[in-house]
Amino acid sequence: MTEAHVSCDVLVVGGGPAGLTAAQVACESGAKTILLDDNPAFGGQIWRGAKHFRFDNKVLDLISDQTAAQLGTTDEPARLRKMPGWRVVAAPRPGVATAESLSETNSIHFQKLILATGARERFLPFPGWTLPNVMGAGGLQAMVKSGLPIAGKRVVIAGTGPLLLAVAEYLKQCRADVRLIAEQASGSSLFRFGLSLTSHPAKLFQAAMLKARLLTVPYLTDCWVTRAEGKDTLERVCLRQESKSWQLECDYLATGFHLIPNTELAELMGCAIENGCVKVDEDQQTSVPNVYCAGEPTGIGGVEKSVVEGRIAGLAAAGLAQEARKYHAVWRHCARFAGRLNETFRLREELKALSTDETFVCRCEDVTLAQLRECSTWRAAKLHRRCGMGPCQGRICGPAVEFLFGWKPESVRPPVFPARVESLTQADVEEKSS
């Protein structure tokens, strides 16, 4: 173990579209910048597996090779230090973040912090959802991008949101046998959404729908998986559309119910949260001075919104808030699209009735629906049943429980991820030295 501390003007947490843009803009504006990401390579979920990031006619290297990345390649300014495979586990005092990699712990001292922690898929429980080979839609895509062969495998894609289409297109390209896309949203709401799409970000969605059709994958609306079955691994799924129900044999079920903002780190920093999203002002600054937030954590809106927010946050953090205002019109446009998107893919009530008494809702601690029914609050569920107390810290079951019972998860405490004892000791030393 090595203990170290590094310092920078701007620390960017998260290397997806928002974080990459923010880091690039901040260091171009003269700020000494550190960009870190939990994953072994940059790009976030959407650009996972990409080798380069193109931005304003410049090219950044996204490959994880640490030494090459840190030295800076292609057009990359030396002021940018990239730390792939690192995650922030604690924030011992203002201006300091404790980060760890697989083998090291570091205290990162910063003037400004930009949180670009992205989003995760929302999962909803149904009988059989814990079977191996039932994965997230983005989850299966990530596995394929990181080496899982999918050619010829039978895949059912189910849940809600535009991600289902993007995943279908990608898996088809990889020659998977995509048997069905089951979208729970109603055909009429999708039709209205389609009519409202008149310009850029929206056009991308239309293109995705069109491609899915061209790829000849059946796309059913008002349709969802009622259960997954198999002995020790997935063998088939049961589906429903209106009064019709049927079974489909498959090797993988890729299921996700739109996205949930990753707000845990912002909450740990004390940032105000509003309607499940990090509250920001027009410079993307949170309620905590010098802490900015960009992309999905401020509201699910897709890659265009993330990029423009990353740009605004990067400029503002580098002291160029005036320059950032040029991008407000683009931002408003993206935000309007986001609003319509989230309305269209709202979850239907019937999904609350899928789980039976025996269905595990909390997968870490194997807490069943029947056990949760005996509780009246999230706190009671935690204390009596250890719901949300396992390694994922409620990241998977929290949004499901909120949908099923309406309980809001409680405050976030460090470490935000299971961390090594050395990291906690170092965070403690930092806290005491304040």
Partner 1 sequence: MPMPETVSLRINGKELSVAPGTTVAAAILIAGHSAFRRSVAGTPRGPLCGMGICFECRVTVNGEPHARSCQIECMPGMEVRTGD
Contacting positions for partner 1 (CB under 8 A): 38-40, 45, 64, 85, 102, 120-121, 123, 130-136, 138-143, 146-149, 232-234, 360, 363-366, 390-392, 395-396, 418
CB of 115 to partner 1, least distance (A): 16
CB of 146 to partner 1, least distance (A): 4
Tokens of 224: 């969802």
Q: Shortest CA distance to 430 belongs to which of 116, 88, 112? A: 88
CB of 32 to partner 1, least distance (A): 27
CB of 135 to partner 1, least distance (A): 6
CB of 339 to partner 1, least distance (A): 26
Are 316 and 283 a contacting pair, CB within 8 Å?
yes
DSSP of 264-288, one letter per residue? HHHHHTT--EETTEE---TTSB-SS
d(CA 189, CA 347): 12
Q: Dihedral sign for Cα 56, 30, 95, 109, please.
A: positive
Q: Collapsing DSSP states into helix, strand and coil, what is residue 176? A: coil
Judged by beta carbon, residue 218 or residue 418, the one nearer partner 1 is 418
Going by their DSSP bridges, the two strands 291-293 and 105-115 should be labelled as parallel
Rg (CA), the chain: 22
CB of 125 to partner 1, least distance (A): 12
Judged by beta carbon, residue 317 or residue 362, the one nearer partner 1 is 362
CB of 340 to partner 1, least distance (A): 26
Judged by beta carbon, residue 366 or residue 402, the one nearer partner 1 is 366
CB of 386 to partner 1, least distance (A): 9
Are 310 and 324 a contacting pair, CB within 8 Å?
no
Judged by beta carbon, residue 314 or residue 390, the one nearer partner 1 is 390
Judged by beta carbon, residue 38 or residue 431, the one nearer partner 1 is 38
CB of 174 to partner 1, least distance (A): 13
The alpha-helical segments, DSSP class H, found in 126-273 are: 137-145, 163-173, 187-196, 202-214, 264-268
Judged by beta carbon, residue 95 or residue 409, the one nearer partner 1 is 409
DSSP of 399-421, one letter per residue? HHHHHHH-PPP----S-SS---H
Judged by beta carbon, residue 44 or residue 310, the one nearer partner 1 is 44
Tokens of 353: 């009735």
Judged by beta carbon, residue 72 or residue 85, the one nearer partner 1 is 85
CB crowding 324-353: b at 16 or more within 10 Å, else e: beebeebbebbeebbeebeebbebeeebee
Judged by beta carbon, residue 143 or residue 273, the one nearer partner 1 is 143
Within 10 angstroms of residue 133's Cβ, the number of other Cβ atoms is 18
Tokens of 374: 């005996």
Judged by beta carbon, residue 9 or residue 365, the one nearer partner 1 is 365
Q: Shortest CA distance to 56 belongs to which of 296, 282, 300, 310? A: 310
The H or E element containing residue 373 is helix 369-373
d(CA 225, CA 156): 9
Judged by beta carbon, residue 238 or residue 392, the one nearer partner 1 is 392
CB of 189 to partner 1, least distance (A): 27
The H or E element containing residue 220 is strand 219-220
Sheet (strand 177-183) strand order: 134-135, 252-257, 154-160, 177-183, 219-220
Tokens of 351: 């999904």
**Residue recorded with tokens 């995760």:** 120
CB of 331 to partner 1, least distance (A): 26
